[in-house]
């Protein structure tokens, strides 16, 4: 039933497409509205928000609530975007490099080959085979296990009497926790790990806040000013912060007990809160060179680590906060989905020559396991 739904979506929306130019029209908008409601009904989603951009212009934003009713101003409702956060963290690292920031403890220019032990002490066990660099964290080739796979975090800790992963943790304790993880897998092989992007957030934190109070959220402040600010993402923020005046946050719908969704567990790896309208602004700013220079964008989206593990991205490669998938006809798709308790997210961009289009889908339920498939089919239908 569901595969047939996507086949019909592709046929109806792609009928007027031609060549490699992405287009949008009223017919496509009406069909997207219709099939979003079908997707909502079949998957039991409470709220779905979608944004579409074509060649640097936002052509569609909207949201539907229970029963498929359109939500006024729904494009500005904020959702937790989970691991889609990683593209912002990666961009903040490249922005630091663009801005000629220096490593506080060595005075050397920050680079992708800066070693992690220039920032963290007592991690010699991670560099016995090859140096642990910023590049390896970005490309998911560090072999540092993900803290979300740590079974001790989802069971009652007898020393404290509660489940660590269901309670807040400060970033310093997070660092110490991750330091205890032994490396896993073949050295330098792709291994998706949230620990990598948490550690990257701490590189930004330390670079911008050296010799200053560790209680100041320098990572958040930098992303807000350097990334959100340039992209015009006025309502975007972070888990644990109050919403700006007049902005509504979607409420999470949990299918299972929540874990790792309280500060500072998802810091850098999944802690951004944003609307589809803001995500559309992000895609446009990123692709147009407003946030990063062209060389940095090439670095950000350069496929570096082939993905061999089963799942949505088999046959693709990980770049920096983006999966890169080569498509027929010389096209390629940049994408990442996100999951954090009570929410699912997808952000994807397809490039065909100088033409490009993007789709963002945000849902306030962790039931939408196939949200990446839904987003991909919208993108495919626009060509």
**Cβ-Cβ contacts under 8 Å for 211 (sequence gap 6 or more):** 104
Nearest to 255 by CA among 371, 346, 370, 365: 365
This model's pTM is above 0.85: yes
pLDDT at 282: 98
The secondary structure of 142-195 as a DSSP string is S-PPPGGG-GGGGS-BTTTTB-GGGS---HHHHHHHHHTPPP-SSTT-----HH
**Cβ-Cβ contacts under 8 Å for 72 (sequence gap 6 or more):** none
The residue ranges of DSSP E strands in the chain, in sequence order, are 48-54, 57-64, 79-80, 237-238, 272-274, 305-306, 317-318, 323-326, 332-340, 343-352, 355-363
Q: What is the residue-level pLDDT of the chain in tens, covering all 383 positions?
A: 333 333 333 333 333 333 457 888 888 888 899 889 988 988 888 999 999 999 999 999 999 999 999 999 999 999 999 999 999 999 999 999 999 999 999 999 999 999 999 999 999 889 777 899 999 999 999 999 999 999 999 999 888 889 999 999 999 999 999 999 999 999 999 999 999 999 999 999 999 998 787 788 999 999 999 999 999 999 999 999 999 999 999 999 999 999 999 999 999 999 999 999 999 999 999 999 999 999 999 999 999 999 988 889 999 999 999 999 999 999 999 999 999 999 999 999 999 999 999 999 999 998 777 899 999 988 887 77
Angstrom distances, CA of residue 29 to CA of 132, 208, 277: 47, 44, 16
- Classify 360 in phi/psi space as left (phi over 0), alpha (psi -120 to 50) or beta: beta
pLDDT at 267: 98
**Cβ-Cβ contacts under 8 Å for 233 (sequence gap 6 or more):** 227, 274, 278, 281, 282
92 CB-side CA count, 13 A: 31
pLDDT at 31: 84
Interatomic CA distance for residues 156 and 162, integer angstroms? 5
pLDDT at 214: 75
pLDDT at 13: 33
């Amino acid at each position: 039933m569901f595969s047939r739904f996507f086949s019909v979506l592709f046929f109806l929306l792609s009928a007027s497409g031609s060549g490699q130019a992405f287009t949008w029209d009223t017919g496509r908008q009406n069909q997207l509205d219709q099939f979003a409601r079908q997707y909502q009904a079949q998957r039991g989603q409470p709220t779905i928000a979608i944004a579409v951009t074509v060649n640097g212009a936002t052509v569609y934003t909207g949201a539907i609530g229970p029963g498929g009713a359109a939500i006024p101003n729904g494009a500005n409702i904020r959702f937790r975007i989970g691991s889609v956060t990683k593209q912002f963290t990666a961009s903040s690292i490249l922005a630091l490099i663009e801005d000629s920031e220096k490593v506080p403890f060595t005075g050397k220019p920050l680079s992708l080959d800066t070693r992690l032990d220039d920032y963290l002490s007592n991690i010699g066990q991670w560099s016995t085979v090859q140096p642990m660099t910023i590049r390896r964290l970005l490309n998911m080739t560090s072999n540092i296990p993900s803290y979300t796979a740590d079974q001790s975090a989802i069971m009652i800790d007898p020393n404290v009497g509660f489940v660590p992963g269901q309670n807040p943790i400060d970033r310093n304790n997070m660092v110490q926790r991750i330091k205890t993880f032994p490396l896993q897998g073949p050295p330098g092989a792709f291994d998706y790990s949230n620990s990598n992007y948490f550690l990257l957030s701490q590189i930004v934190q330390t670079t911008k806040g050296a010799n200053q109070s560790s209680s100041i959220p320098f990572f958040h402040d930098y992303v807000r000013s350097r990334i959100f600010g340039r992209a015009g993402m006025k309502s975007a923020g972070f888990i644990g912060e109050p919403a700006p005046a007049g902005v509504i946050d979607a409420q999470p719908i949990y299918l299972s007990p929540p874990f790792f969704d309280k500060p500072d567990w998802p810091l850098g790896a999944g802690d951004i809160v944003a609307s589809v309208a803001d995500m559309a602004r992000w895609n446009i700013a990123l692709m147009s060179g407003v946030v990063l220079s062209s060389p940095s964008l090439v670095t950000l989206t350069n496929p570096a680590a082939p993905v061999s593990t089963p799942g949505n991205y088999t046959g693709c490669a990980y770049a920096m906060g983006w999966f890169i998938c080569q498509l027929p006809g010389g096209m390629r798709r940049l994408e990442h989905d996100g999951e954090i308790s009570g929410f699912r997210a997808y952000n994807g961009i397809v490039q065909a020559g100088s033409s490009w289009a993007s789709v963002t889908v945000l849902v306030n339920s962790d039931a939408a396991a196939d949200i990446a498939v839904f987003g991909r089919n919208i993108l495919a239908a626009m060509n």
